[in-house]
Structure 1
Amino acid sequence: MSVTIADVRTRDLHDLLATSVPRQFVHKTVESEVLLTGWFPVAPDRFRVTARWPVGHAFYAQVNGHHDPLLIAESVRQTVPLLSHVAYDVPFGHRQTWSTFRYEIDPAALAVTGAAPAEVDMDIVCSDVVRRAGRLSSVRMAVDMRVDGRHLGRVETAFANLAPSVYPRLRGPYADIDEAVRRSLPLAPPMAPGRVARARFADVVVSPTNTALRMQLRVDHSHPVLFDHPVDHAPGMLLLEAARQATHAAAGPRPVIATAMDVAFTQYVEFDAPCWIHAEVAAADSIRVRAEQNGADAFTALVTTTPVPQAALPRIPAQRDRRVR
């Protein structure tokens, strides 16, 4: 059964969400995928939201002694429906759609400092709050993040809120989730995991082509994290992961951290046509990525990279020379 705000009194809801966040409020099916742990209002349109990053997440795992930077994106993504529902009275059944997303962080604050989960604090300021017919229509969020007390950086995002009466008109035939999934293209073979800083083929979201740094998006509906629940289009987190993996492919063998992303979502990515991921080196420390479908750009990202400090790289033990002398 879905939880609705009408099911609990306002005070009870505040007490509940101050200690835990039910999965329905962040639009997740699996409880273990909920990163947020609480929230409370600070002032009009100002909020504190807390999160916890697990030590051994199945997908957003620690690499080279650092937390996965896309935990930043997923944490903020979860605050979008949470604050929509609890702070701006958006009913369940409405959909929140990203238009822009950017972050810039200090990579040193991503360094793993212990064996316990990381405690995350997000101070959020909402602006440009637009309402139509008394309902939230769109809003911008600025987020200052700290991890285990260390300042991590800043995130800015903007999203629209779409009512159930609006979304089908916007999406047309693609609004039918079952039909959209049925028309999905066959899953393309994955790129070698090592090229995109992944350990498992199942977690690779791009497929190689005959053109260097031109990849095809892999849409694997069975992925337990990126497709936690059925959707009618490629999720935003899948596109961010494709941008991150394309960045690693373009950066070459040197280990890097995506320390900044500046992203624009311009149209939905559908399941029934190839989506091409293009990557190009924009500068010594940045990669430009775009997702193209049906001849139009659906998503663009400028990703800034920072080399992983040598001290953080795993040491490969020296091998004894076993040649016969």
Structure 2
Amino acid sequence: MTASTFRAEHTTAGLVPAQGAYGAPATPSGFRYPSLTTTVPKELVHRAAVAEVMLTDWWREGETRFAMQGQWPRGHSFFTPVAGHHDPLIAAETIRQAGILLAHAEFGVPLGHQFLVSDLDVTVDPRHMIVGDTPASLDITVDCPDVRMRGTSLAGLRIAVEIRRDGEIAARGGGALASIAPPVYRRLRGARADAMQRVLPLTAPAAPQLVGRMSPTDVTLTPVGEADRWQLRVDTRHPVLFDHPLDHVPGMLLMEAARQAAAAALRRPVMLPLSITNEFLHYVELDAPCMIEARRDPSRDDRVTVSAYQDDAVVFRSTVVAARIDG
């Protein structure tokens, strides 16, 4: 049922080397180094760039309970700080990586399998999301309350995650994913599997200052001349959202579009989400327009529901709750 937990053993520094004649080290290998921090293998979290890996270690604490360590950089090319806080979407990405890591490393899903994420949510405590003088060191606990097997193979699992900084909970969240073997995925995707060859032309970005972004490169919405409605802007050359080639729109792009749509709908260019709850209802294709619509909660001034439509069907839905940030 499980695969061996990954461990990298390192030599240990700081020990006095064995002494040879006249006080010289007996052998060059007398020096040993302590266990040094590194990321988990990028392949185990479906990332091509090591810089995009947020997890540094993990171990099993029970049958369905695991501990992990991670790190968030003080600055990131895409998950940029919001009013001095770490971007809540970096917490969502950490949760996503945790689920995929466990599926491969602890539940035996072979590399090359695909994962279908049906839902993902994250809630943050702004007090413990403030960017400090050093990168944020994370202690993460992951419970798997629902593990579904198909014979001896993992069919899917649900995870519940707590991310702590200095002993305090900075973020909570979770989600569910299903494992799909390569032949099944090819049948499922059919002709869409080569969608990278039929990507729609890149559309113009909305004004970055209206959607909480600094650079047009990171804008995921294109104006269509209607209030609180946009076309999803899909840039398959984006180095983070498309860290590697995909045959569909990645979930993180949809979550970012929801965050940007909420910022625009609330008229808050500086908008720190307190929570984002997401449902991924269908694959969002690269070769057809996808429309994004935002609807403010009439009873609250901090909640926005964002829906994505493709071919007249709802393919994604998100609820964003915003914190009040002055300035």
Q: TM-score range by the shorter chain?
A: 0.7 to 0.9
TM-score under structure 2 normalisation? 0.87
User: Is the 2:212–2:271 contact (alpha carbons within 8 Å) kept by the matching residues of 1?
Assistant: no
User: Is the 2:39–2:50 contact (alpha carbons within 8 Å) kept by the matching residues of 1?
Assistant: no
User: Is the 1:118–1:148 contact (alpha carbons within 8 Å) kept by the matching residues of 2?
Assistant: no
Stretches of 4+ moved more than 6 A in 1?
none
| Offset at residue 19 of structure 1 (A) | 5.2
The answer to whether 1:294 aligns with 2:322 is no
Note the aligned Cα RMSD (angstroms): 1.8
* 1:260-302 CA distance string (max 9 Å, x none): 1111110000011100000010132100001100000000011
**Aligned pair partner of 1:88 in 68, 90, 107:** 107
Q: 5+ unaligned residues in a row in structure 2: which ranges?
A: 10-34
| Offset at residue 161 of structure 1 (A) | 0.7
Residue 320 of structure 1 is matched in structure 2 by none
The answer to whether 1:97 aligns with 2:116 is yes
* AA partner of residue 233 (structure 2): R
Pair 153,34 (structure 1): closer, same or farther in 2 beyond 3 Å: closer
**Across the two proteins, how many residue pairs are aligned to each other?**
298
User: Is the 1:109–1:152 contact (alpha carbons within 8 Å) kept by the matching residues of 2?
Assistant: yes
* AA partner of residue 56 (structure 2): T
**How do residues 97-136 of structure 1 correspond to structure 2 at under 5 angstroms?**
97-112=116-131, 114-136=132-154
Residue 160 of structure 1 is matched in structure 2 by 178
1:263 alignment partner, SS class = strand
**How do residues 158-197 of structure 1 correspond to structure 2 at under 5 angstroms?**
158-175=176-193, 179-197=194-212
* 1:105-140 CA distance string (max 9 Å, x none): 22222122x221011121110022111131111111
Identity %: 43
* Structure having the higher Rg: 2
Worse overlay, 185-194 or 96-105: 96-105
User: Is the 2:95–2:174 contact (alpha carbons within 8 Å) kept by the matching residues of 1?
Assistant: no
Residue 285 of structure 1 is matched in structure 2 by 302
| Offset at residue 149 of structure 1 (A) | 3.0
The answer to whether 1:71 aligns with 2:71 is no
Residue 318 of structure 1 is matched in structure 2 by none
How many angstroms apart in 1 are the aligned matches of 2:190 and 2:64?
A: 34
TM-score under structure 1 normalisation? 0.88
Residue 73 of structure 2 is matched in structure 1 by 54
* 1:202-249 CA distance string (max 9 Å, x none): 000111111111011111011000000000000011111111111111
Residue 199 of structure 1 is matched in structure 2 by 214
Q: 5+ unaligned residues in a row in structure 1: which ranges?
A: 314-325
Worse overlay, 85-94 or 251-260: 251-260
